[in-house]
């Protein structure tokens, strides 16, 4: 059985991520979406909220599992006996960082291979940060994130406005 791991922060999952998930699910027997707990980023959603959103968004894809991980990705991949890491490439600007990560992961465990999928054209400009920024300022993010994520962002910013 060919198991692949698709890691990320997913704060929150976008249609760009979903496109990669769906295509990876067509290539491998099982794809584990691995949500990084701490990733040197200040997250809007808690780990549980991010995991819950990913689960909801991917519930109709049968060969997907959703898990959180802490520490090194290479260790998580080994623990899962997966050895394949999926990463999405949106633009040339992603390449340097992705190249560094793939070489470092291979250094940590030489059995690990990174497979890059190029992002669909319509999502090459997307990032979770830009979605959060537009949503926080009341702009439309329709078609860029799944509906449950759109609603979760709306609720999160409404709750924040109420508190401030």
> Minimal CA–CA distance to 141: which of 21, 14, 1?
14
Task: Between 93 and 164, name the residue whose CB sits nearer to ligand COA.
Answer: 93
The answer to whether 7 and 135 are in contact (CB under 8 A) is no
| 14 touches ligand COA (CB under 6 A) | yes
* DSSP bridge partners of 2: none
| 127 touches ligand COA (CB under 6 A) | yes
What single string gives the DSSP state of each residue in 11-46?
TT--HHHHHHHHHHHHHSSEEEEEEES--SS--SS-
Q: Prior bond to 110 cis, omega within 30?
A: no
| 90 touches ligand COA (CB under 6 A) | yes
| 28 touches ligand COA (CB under 6 A) | no
| 129 touches ligand COA (CB under 6 A) | yes
In whole angstroms, how close is the CB of 5 to ligand COA at the nearest point? Answer: 9
Q: Does the active-site annotation cover 163?
A: no
Residues of this chain that bind ligand COA (CB under 6 A): 7-9, 11, 14, 16-17, 20, 36, 39, 72-74, 88, 90, 101, 104-105, 119, 123, 126-129
Catalytic residue list: 17, 41, 90, 128
């Amino acid at each position: 059985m060919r198991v692949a791991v698709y890691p990320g922060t997913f704060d929150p999952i976008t249609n760009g991520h979903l496109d990669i998930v769906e295509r990876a699910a067509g290539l491998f027997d099982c794809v584990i979406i691995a949500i990084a707990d701490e990733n040197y980023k200040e997250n809007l959603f808690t780990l549980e909220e991010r995991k819950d959103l990913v689960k909801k968004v991917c519930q109709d894809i049968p060969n997907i599992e959703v898990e959180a991980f802490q520490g090194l990705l290479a260790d998580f991949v080994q623990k899962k006996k997966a050895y394949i890491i999926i990463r999405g490439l949106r633009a040339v600007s992603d390449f340097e960082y992705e190249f560094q990560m793939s070489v470092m992961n291979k250094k940590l465990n030489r059995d690990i291979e990174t497979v890059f999928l190029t992002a669909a054209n319509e999502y090459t400009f997307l990032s979770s940060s830009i979605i959060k920024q537009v949503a926080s300022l009341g702009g439309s993010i329709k078609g860029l994130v799944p509906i449950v994520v759109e609603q979760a962002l709306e609720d999160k910013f409404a709750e924040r406005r109420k508190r401030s």
